[in-house]
Amino acid sequence: MNDAIRNLGQRKISRRAALAGLGAGASFLAMPWVARAADDTIRIGFPTPLTGPYAAEAKDQVKSAELAIKLVNDKGGIGGRKVELLVRDGKLNGGEAATRTLELIEKDKVHAVVGALSSAVQLAVNEVTRARGVIYISISQSDTINEKKDSSKYTFHEAMNPHMTTAAVARHAFKKGNKVAHLVADYAYGHEMLRGFKRAQAAIGAETVGELLHPIGAPDYSTLMPRLRAMKPDILCISNFGRDQANSIKQAVDFGMKQQMKIVVPVLLHNQRLAVGPEVFEGVVGGANYYWELESKLPSAKTFNDAFRAANGGAIPTDYGAYGFTGVSSLLLAMQAAGGTDTEKVVAALEGLKYDVAKGAQHYRKCDHQSVQSVLVLESKKKADMKGANDFFNIVENEAPSEDVLRSCKELGFPA
Amino acid sequence: MSAPLLAVENVGRRFGGFVALDGVTAQFEPNKVTSIIGPNGAGKSTFFNVLSGVLTPSTGSIRFKGQNLTGTRQHKFVHLGIARSYQITNIFPELSAHENVRVAAQAARSRYNIWRNRSHFPELGERADAALDSVGLGGKHNETAKFLAHGQQRALEIAIALVSDPEVLLLDEPTAGMGPEETKDMVALLEKLARDRTILLVEHKMKMILGLSDRILVLHHGRLIADGSPRDIQADPDVRRVYLGQNDGYA
Amino acid sequence: MERDMTVKSIPLAATSSGARKATDLAAALTNWRVLLSIAALCLLPWVLPSKALAVNVLVYGVLAMGYNLLFGYTGLLSFGHAAFFGAGAYVTGIAIGQFGVPWYGAVLLGVIGGGLLALAIGALSIRTRGIYFSMVTLALAQLVYHVALQASSWTGGENGLRGFTVAKIDIAGFSINFLDPVSKYYVLMVFAALALWFVSRILNSPFGAAIEAIRENETRARTCGYDVERTKLISFVLSGLICALAGTMSALHLAFVPLDVLHYQTSGMIVMMTLLGGASSFFGPFVGALAFLLMEDVFSLWTSHWQIIVGSIFILFVLFLPKGIWGTFLARVVR
Amino acid sequence: MDAELILIQLFSGVALGAILVITALGLSIIFGMLGVVNFAHGALFMIGAYAGLWVASLTGSFWWGLLVAPIMIGVFGMAIEWLLVRPLYGRSVDDPLLLTFGLSYVLVEAVRIVFGNDGIPFPTPSQLTGVANLGVGYFPIYRLFVIVVVAVVLLLLWLALEKTKFGLIVRAGSRDPTIMRVLGVNISKVWLLVFGVGVGLAALGGVLAGPMRTVNPEMGSLVLIEAFVVTVIGGLGSLLGSVVAGLLVGVAISMTALFAPEMGTIVMFALMALVLLVRPRGLFGKAA
């Protein structure tokens, strides 16, 4: 099974390899029918969207999650028990991911679930795990999962949330008196980012000159550009994700906006920068959970990068890839502290855990189980300044972890 | 002359700039066979389509038993008592012969009923059987329609039209594509039907028309150019000119 | 008059060799189709790799069966049936989560909601013919998708609808643990059985004969006195009701309604399942749902490019096996 | 809201409309002639963009990509017609639709296998970068170029249909294919060519869209829906309809952007529903 998943991890599968896979298919065909033998292996379910537009991110997540498992197994596992990662394709669809999670719990009897990339899939997985009292560590960026309504004793959020990201980016990019225009994807995640930016603006004293919502998944932003330009902002904040980010930044640049204003995004995505190229992204500022260059300052990042390079032929871990590592590592550390897989004990251990596995000190806040962590602010490099194929960004800020940048427990609906 | 069962008054139909039917006026009495003839493109099919509700006339009106049918939706015609067959075989190919006719019979009632079984209405099945028998398909009830011979399919189509027990039967070239044997059977069937029904017939086989018809209408370029008994029509100079000029040849 | 000359001679005798007579086995399969189907579905959770997959086969089987009523039996290729599936799921979820309606009430509301949506979309699209109908249903269903995306205070928008987990079901003094996969399967199985019975009921009825007639020959059906538009609309709504039931089952099963249920790719998946199993066969849709979900499960375990395999298989079916798995089985083996 | 903004907005709408027209045209031509709804239209649009990028990177020139890729993919389209669609003529009209639906899955996944899941940068050709001042506002030069290309393609298409023997055959054939057979025209060759042209137009749309949008395997999925909406509004099979409807939808979206830009996608479907209510066969559709 793990071999199969490692195959998935390779970027490209040649047709010949796929055909060879077909030949070996008989054994795989039989796989799902084989009842899992009752052994003492610790099983961690890992739903992630291997199919669809975020497959590259998902594969990075799988690689670094497997690395976390390997490092623990190399040291003898947890209390002598081997750990196994069960990767399932959630296909970027909440229904699929929920089904796969049900299978992981009901059939594979996993001890915990880590994963998800999109906000919707994370919430779908959470709906399944919390009803069944299974630990779930989400690695999808979202504010929603922090709120009382969607929280549970068993739900932890290892990824950053838009609130903390936008706060860090705004503190770096906004000055008092700046005029800010917002282009926002019209869905929960977009609105969460907008809310974060506007709060930070209020504290800094930057003024909003206008906000335009766009339909999610829109391929064309040309009809919005004249209005954005007419607002005459100093800063254009583009709060959307993935392909939308790539398309909207590209078209803003085409319309000559970058000459007039600075472009700021909540999260600067490694794979979108790759897809659109350095010319378009040049000078764009945004947040990130992880950037490999951190290794020059941080020993834990160096250790993580080196291990990742060793396991993946010299490749570097990306932003979303790192979530796979930090998310799974935090769970494994807690299991180690709890001396096994007893859910209540592991939950208690997670709540008390302090860890630094890749990006500095982290811990889970008590009320909403949000991982308090550092936030990087990056600026995309000019092509001429790039020192290597992966040298995309300058780290312009590394905001230290602090509960103060989070929404208060009271605001989220938890008793103070 | 008895009261007309069906009357068309100044009926016309145009398609864009093309006038397919131009001010036709005629009355049809009960239990008579009337044939409509004319060269290809004379407007016979359009006339039939207007009479059976497939097309709404652009001008004029249709009255059936005193009721104005102009603008009435097509599916209602059969419930009122006007049924038709088509020139190109028009049946339900995957259904059995029996089901072809039964489903037609059922249209008169229980069209939207989902709470009963089809078999709950045995009289529909009996009527279908009777209609099949009357067109000479007695032994073919369970045959799938598409596997029937051509002549049998034509007969089946008439059974489908017949099962609604219509007062007026519009038959569009019932012998189209038939060999002489099949045609003979069909003529016999039509003679039987003509006893108690009003039949309008479009045909090309002139001998058959002359033998069957009580009356003949001749259409040319969408106009009614002659209307009379077979004898009158054969003598009509206009009709002769239309046909002889084209050398279509009477059978 | 030239016509008589151009026609080739046609053999008088019927080609009775081609005629197909129902064998006893085929007749038995038809007469007992509801009970046989239920029996087959009862065994499902014990032969499939997981219970969750078995529940999905139930859900998508009912969905494809509802769709088949329109596609297979009425002959209308709708590409917008995700709308009714989604409507059933959303209404059920909203009724439970936001209004505290008990589960049985929510199921009823979900089915009614899907039916009303089918009435609206059907009334608009039935007016169009042929290929046009497919495209119009597709576009109207996409409209529903975007409306659901915008109405996020009701639907949860892109995040999906959640917060309506049904943990136990109380019937006549019994309390069933709905989180237990086996109990859940057999509770949902009751809905599937109802749907099976209902569809069989429709197919046996005079109305079932009417829609078959329309599929076979719309012009002839109209000439026979059928109000074709109205019959199609009723069929569209009945089909929508069953698809909405599948939606409510899905909502109860996953305790989550993803926005994707409304996307046109869900509609496409329904079409694929129906065609794979065999359109216009009674049990075909379940076979199709099973085949599709198994393929997806198995292929996606060993390549993330499973869609190229599923797509190719679908193309081969369209080209060479248009009757689908079950339809071909019935035609070749049983006959 | 000043007049200047409304004017530039109107212009943006027309420009967007031009893109919608080019994406819908291929779909409309194939349907008008063959009665086939090509569900793989969006996938072929996407493949066109990749092919354009590939040719451009081989030759180092965008212009070769713009010229060669549509022809290349057009020939590929002919292969699809010959191998997959042709066996389905004479069967249900639904079958080619279902087949091309399956094909769209295969094509998208094939591109993912060959080029990866990530997008690929498609730089704007250097001659066409920058913005032009239109007096009422600024507009990218490349987008102005796209409008010109669309206009030229429409003109060529019109000339080909109205002034050539082939065009005559196509127009007559779309009305009544049996007449063509009676006249001894080899209709299957005509269909092959028309399918190729339709697919080539989809690919051309993809190449043109490449420098405006990111090139990725999913870029065709929304395009397919947009093309459907435009052809349904315009009337299936009517080229004039596609042009008018494309511009109409473009302007509707840009006008919506003045007060509720988030409704940009919904307005497209709402417009379609409205047209269907008033005229079920579309603005320029032929009567059934």
Q: Is A19 on the interface with D (CB under 8 A)?
A: no
Residue C171's pLDDT is what?
81
Is residue A267, in this structure, part of any structural domain at all? yes
Least Cα separation, residue C117 to chain B (angstroms): 20
**What residue ranges do the domains of chain C occupy?**
56-264
**What residue ranges do the domains of chain D occupy?**
3-278
**Pair (A236, A152) in one structural domain:** no
Record the pTM. Answer: 0.90
Q: Is C179 on the interface with D (CB under 8 A)?
A: no
Q: Is C322 on the interface with D (CB under 8 A)?
A: yes
- pLDDT digits over C231-284, tens only? 999 999 999 999 999 999 999 999 999 999 999 999 999 999 999 999 989 999
Q: Is B86 on the interface with C (CB under 8 A)?
A: yes
**Pair (A281, A304) in one structural domain:** no
**Pair (A45, A96) in one structural domain:** yes
Residue C335's pLDDT is what?
56
Flag whether A touches B (3+ CB pairs, 8 A cutoff). no
Is residue A415, in this structure, part of any structural domain at all? no
Model ipTM value = 0.89
Is the CB of residue A161 less than 8 Å from the CB of residue A167? no
Is A226 in contact with D12 (Cβ distance < 8 A)?
yes
Q: How far apart are CA C276 and CA C291, in angstroms?
A: 8
Is the CB of residue A359 less than 8 Å from the CB of residue A298? yes
Q: How far apart are CA C262 and CA A95, in angstroms?
A: 12
Taking residue D155's Cβ as centre, other Cβ atoms within 10 Å add up to 10
Angle between helix D187-209 and helix D3-34 axes, rounded to 10 deg: 150
Q: What is the pLDDT along chain A (416 residues), one digit of tens a residue?
A: 344 334 333 334 444 444 444 444 434 444 444 444 457 899 999 999 998 889 999 999 999 999 999 999 999 999 999 999 999 999 999 999 999 999 999 999 999 999 999 999 999 999 999 999 999 999 999 999 999 999 999 999 999 999 999 999 999 999 999 999 999 999 989 999 999 999 999 999 999 999 999 998 899 999 999 999 999 999 999 999 999 999 999 999 999 999 999 999 999 999 999 989 999 999 999 999 999 999 999 999 999 999 999 999 999 999 999 999 999 999 999 999 999 999 999 999 999 999 999 999 999 999 999 999 999 999 999 999 999 889 999 999 999 999 999 999 999 999 86
pLDDT at C23 over 70: no
Backbone φ/ψ region at A353: left (φ over 0), alpha (ψ -120 to 50), beta:
beta
Q: DSSP states of A370-395 as a string?
A: BEE--EEEEEEPPGGG--STT--EEE
Helix (H, G, I), strand (E, B) or coil at A237: strand
Output the average pLDDT for chain C. 89
Is residue A416, in this structure, part of any structural domain at all? no
**Pair (A177, A145) in one structural domain:** no
Please state whether beta strands B33-37 and B198-202 pair in parallel, antiparallel, or not at all (unpaired): parallel
DSSP letter, residue A408? P
Is residue A70, in this structure, part of any structural domain at all? yes
Least Cα separation, residue B78 to chain C (angstroms): 5
Backbone angles phi, psi at D205, to 5 degrees: -55, -40
**Pair (A238, A218) in one structural domain:** yes
Is residue A106, in this structure, part of any structural domain at all? yes
pLDDT at C302 over 50: yes
DSSP letter, residue C225? T
Q: How far apart are CA C280 and CA C290, in angstroms?
A: 17
pLDDT over 90, % of chain C: 78
- Determine the residue among C132, C229, C307 to mutate to test chain D binding: the one whose Cβ has the most chain D Cβ atoms within 10 Å: C132
- Which amino acid, one-letter code, is at A400? A
Is D269 in contact with C143 (Cβ distance < 8 A)?
yes
Tokens (6 digits) for B190: 């039509």
Is residue A284, in this structure, part of any structural domain at all? yes
Least Cα separation, residue D22 to chain A (angstroms): 15
Q: What is the pLDDT along chain D (288 residues), one digit of tens a residue?
A: 578 889 999 999 999 999 899 989 999 989 888 888 999 999 999 999 999 999 999 999 999 999 999 999 999 999 999 999 999 988 888 899 999 999 999 999 999 999 988 889 999 999 999 999 988 888 999 999 999 999 999 999 999 988 888 888 887 777 766 777 777 777 888 889 999 999 999 999 999 999 998 899 999 988 999 999 999 899 887 889 999 999 999 999 999 999 899 999 899 988 988 888 888 888 988 754
- pLDDT digits over C1-20, tens only? 333 333 233 333 333 333 34
Contacts of C124 in chain D (CB under 8 A): 273, 276-277
Q: Who's near D79: CB < 8 A, 6+ residues apart?
A: none
Contacts of D24 in chain C (CB under 8 A): none
Nearest CA in chain C to A125: C256
> Among C73, C53, C76, which residue's Cα sits nearest to residue C327?
C73
> Taking an 8 Å Cβ-Cβ cutoff, which residues of chain C contact chain A?
49-53, 56, 146, 149-150, 152, 156-160, 162-163, 165, 167, 179, 181, 250, 254-261, 297-298, 300-307
**Pair (A385, A264) in one structural domain:** yes
Assign residue A236 the CATH number of its domain: 3.40.50.2300
Residue C44's pLDDT is what?
94
Q: How far apart are CA D173 and CA D167, in angstroms?
A: 10
Cα–Cα distances in angstroms (integers) from residue B75 to residues A346, B69, B164, C215, in the given order: 72, 12, 12, 16
Topology (CATH level 3) of domain D3-278: ABC transporter involved in vitamin B12 uptake, BtuC (1.10.3470)
Q: Who's near C28: CB < 8 A, 6+ residues apart?
A: none
Block residue for tokens 């089909």: C239
**Pair (A85, A197) in one structural domain:** no
Least Cα separation, residue C258 to chain D (angstroms): 19
**Pair (A405, A271) in one structural domain:** yes
CA angle at residue C177 from C175 to C181, to 5 degrees?
Answer: 145
Contacts of B160 in chain C (CB under 8 A): 220, 224
**Pair (A354, A220) in one structural domain:** no
Residue length, chain A? 416
**Pair (A105, A81) in one structural domain:** yes
Number of Cβ pairs < 8 A linking chain A and chain D:
123
**Domain assignment of residue A381, given as a range:** 163-288+376-410
Q: How far apart are CA B137 and CA B141, in angstroms?
A: 7
**Pair (A193, A127) in one structural domain:** no
pLDDT at C95 over 60: yes
Q: Is A187 on the interface with C (CB under 8 A)?
A: yes
**Pair (A143, A9) in one structural domain:** yes
Q: How far apart are CA A236 and CA A231, in angstroms?
A: 10
Residue C334's pLDDT is what?
65
Question: Smallest Cβ distance to A55: which of C56, C302, C304?
Answer: C304
Q: Give the best-scoring range by mean pLDDT among B103-117, C294-308, D142-156.
A: D142-156
Residue A5's pLDDT is what?
39
pLDDT over 90, % of chain B: 53
Q: Number of folded domains in chain A? A: 2
